Structure 1
Amino acid sequence: MSARIPDIVKHRVSEKAKNTLDIVAKFVEEECIPADPVVDAQIGEGSARWESHPPIIEELKAKAKKLGLWNMFLPKGHYKESPGYTNLEYGLMAEWLGRSKIASEATNCSAPDTGNMEVLAKYGNDAQKAQWLKPLMEGEIRSAFLMTEPDVASSDATNIQLSIKKEGNEYVLNGSKWWSSGAGDPRCKIYIVMGKSDPNNKDPYKQQSVILVPANTKGITIHRMLNVYGYDDAPHGHGHISFHNVRVPVSNLVLGEGRGFEIIQGRLGPGRIHHAMRSIGAAEHALEWMLMRINDPKKTPFGKQLREHGVILEWVAKSRIEIDAARLIVLNAAVKMDDLGPKATLKEIAQAKVLVPQTALTVIDRAVQAFGGAGVSQDTPLANSWALIRTLRLADGPDEVHLQQMGRNENKRGKEVSQKLLWQKEKTEQLLKQNNLKRFQPGSNIKPRL
């Protein structure tokens, strides 16, 4: 599969990464995708869904470790815990992981753990790393990231209201969170929580802090798991959680008071690009299902196979173009992250975050349409894939927030480009005058017929 690396970035991919990419692709195709339905079957039905852990996942994790496919997401040069791959190299691998529901977890590269591990690796102290980062990197526990709240417009993170108050040697937390992905898993042992520690600070971006809260701390109540288009994502789950006088030691604070925005920006940048990388894989997988459907000799609407209907081949062609274009957007962001870091790559990350899920949804929807009724049922992975990808247009900041920021930044060139275009127009008038010419008006020399 390394032969498919786009030529524009191939020179930046090491031989080690190319070899790993081939192993990842084989592992996903031969081990993970066939096991996706097995996981659903092992989870089962009823309340037991929230207490079970599918044994096949542990089998896949053992195989992945043996193959050296573990924690590939931590970029080299930034983390001492890194296995030695760049963001670009991991991006190519994550695309394959995105073809399967369980491949990311099988390689310990699944959200929200990846972002949480990056927080601990980048901002955590030695004690926090020893207690939480080590077991997370070993795949022994899982985690959740708690930022979004039900009672405020969380697309503007300055609205976050969960209270973090210092009392002696402890911080006391009060408030509620939802869309706490991963909180339903019985293996989830740690919450990374963003809240307001200094509401009176004149700088709204220094009012927030991030703190580590063990999931079994007294005062935490999980009220329910939220469905995503009817899917409960058990046992992972998306929790609606409240905190009532939850007390944790001051040593659980990450980096320092008022550093919350700094931390979440450091977390969400890489997280957004990881989602985009996996979404490319989901789109590729949907295209493959569509190709299978339109070449099925049993499906002959109006006396022809689906591939013989012109509109279907147009869908295939458009999907190929759109996926390849979206991939380049993702890889461009990954390259810039490798060279300059996430903070200098905000525009490129935002471009990928907005464009790729929309592209993937378009491709998946075409595949659904090609399958007809089967496409919206449980008989293919397409309906579930569409629901999962649709949430990414909201996760880590809705599209509109990123578009507004990109538009605002792009519009800063308004005065400069206006001056340039007006200067060019003036130069044109000077050249016309020097050459004793008048501006050409199309159609002005056509004589009317009598």
Structure 2
Amino acid sequence: MLSERTSATVRATLPAVAANLDEISSVFYTRLFTAHPDLLRNLFNRGNQANGTQRQALAGSIAAFASALVAQPATTPDALLSRIAHKHASLGITRDQYPLVHNHLFAAIAEVLGDAVTEEVAAAWTEVYWAMAEALIAVESRLYAEAGAPDGDSWREYRVVDRYAETDDVVTFVAQPTDGRPVPVAQPGQYVSVQVHLADGARQIRQYSLTTAQGETVRFAVKRALGEPAGEVSNHLHDHVVTGDLLRISAPFGDVVLDEGDNPVLLVSAGIGCTPMISMLGHLAATDSPRQVIAVHADRSERTHPLRADFDQLIAKLPNASAHVWYEEPTGPWPAERTGLVDLGTVAVPDGVTAYLCGPLPFMRAVHAQLRDLGVPTADIHYEVFGSDLWLARR
């Protein structure tokens, strides 16, 4: 993909660029939002901008892509590109936005690195940028075509037909399209974007995993997001959206989906990370799957465990499934649940298993390490991250 000369230039300058990527990302976003404030109000996650996680994720993805190209110039890191492309598609990113990003990104690189950015260096990194951009555009175009939205606009109006509490801080929303057309087909594990109109006029977007991939409605669970900054969209949904209200919801996207093989499946989640796993369990139960299924969940207590009833009912429907639940502060009868943190060394993890992880990043890192210690290949371990993907940024 990259010429030999470009590869050599990128290889030589990658340490300097990588060491300054966090600052470059910060300058880039400042420039972008100064020139185009509506992007921060109506497209980018203001919370992730405020806490810096979006900046870290951008830096991590650029470094990972450039490193992969330098290592294998004739190939592209498909897994990384797929994850980014699905997120972009869920937001409605289109081809005409890439030159805008390029202009502000390279202005930021020049500002941070100064005279080190020679014409040769600028040309080499421009080639890297457009290699990444064109690869993403190609994937995104395919995703839009599959969603029946070749122009990149997969948004539809939905009416909330039900909402109910799962726990004190988790609410499930059930919504139905207002246009009478069928709900888009979703693969188990995928998410939708939800856009809300906030009090200050901003139209912010967040992604929520579907808890079911079937039927005439979409269903997703939302956890109230406390902390600093608080979750604008999640808290708005909790506090202001009731049955009868309208929401803009995208087509389903997401590349962490249940495979269709017959090998054993391991689903490992913590907290609200259970939502894509419930979708996968629902699909397995609906298809009367004979696969061996091991479902592992960690939570603070029974009271904070979202969708516990769904979890139990779906496990009971599967002929070859087992459940293992850890509570840090269990209130139920012992030894029905386990106390403390997840220890996969106490679970019979079969050979040939495909594992799916979802939960806080430290939890997934710990589980990933346990799986590797148990001999599960990295290629067979898949993870979903809620919010900015910092997995690569902190490797």
Same fold per TM (> 0.5)? no
- Which structure carries more helix by proportion? 1
TM range, smaller chain = under 0.3
**TM-score of the superposed pair, with normalisation by structure 1:** 0.25
